[in-house]
Amino acid sequence: MVDRALLAIGFEGVEHVPFLVVWAIAEGRSVTNAVDAHLTGSSQLPSPVHPTALPLAV
């Protein structure tokens, strides 16, 4: 039996699912940080890390 969720996203989308979960969590944290800062004036919640915030390490 084929999983209906797999049919909904298509077989080519399966490889992107972990990325989408990480992206959704990061977006949720970003929103909660912004709402908390707006309501209280500042926030101690985690904020998003921008790609240029840290130097690349090899």
Backbone angles phi, psi at 31, to 5 degrees: -65, -45
Give the total number of structural domains in the chain: 1
8 A C-beta contact, residue 8 and residue 22:
no
Domain range for 15: 4-40
Residue 54 falls within a domain, yes or no? Answer: no
Residue 33 falls within a domain, yes or no? Answer: yes
Q: What is the DSSP letter of 42?
A: -
pLDDT in tens, 7-50: 555 556 556 677 778 888 888 888 899 999 999 999 998 877 77
pLDDT for residue 4 is more than 90 = no
Residue 50 falls within a domain, yes or no? Answer: no
Residue 21 falls within a domain, yes or no? Answer: yes
CA nearest neighbour of 2 among 19, 17, 16, 14: 14
Which pTM was predicted?
0.56
Contacts of 43 (CB under 8 A, 6+ apart): 33, 34, 36, 37
pLDDT for residue 55 is more than 60 = yes
8 A C-beta contact, residue 47 and residue 32:
no
The whole-number pLDDT of residue 47 equals: 78
Residue 22 falls within a domain, yes or no? Answer: yes
pLDDT for residue 57 is more than 90 = no
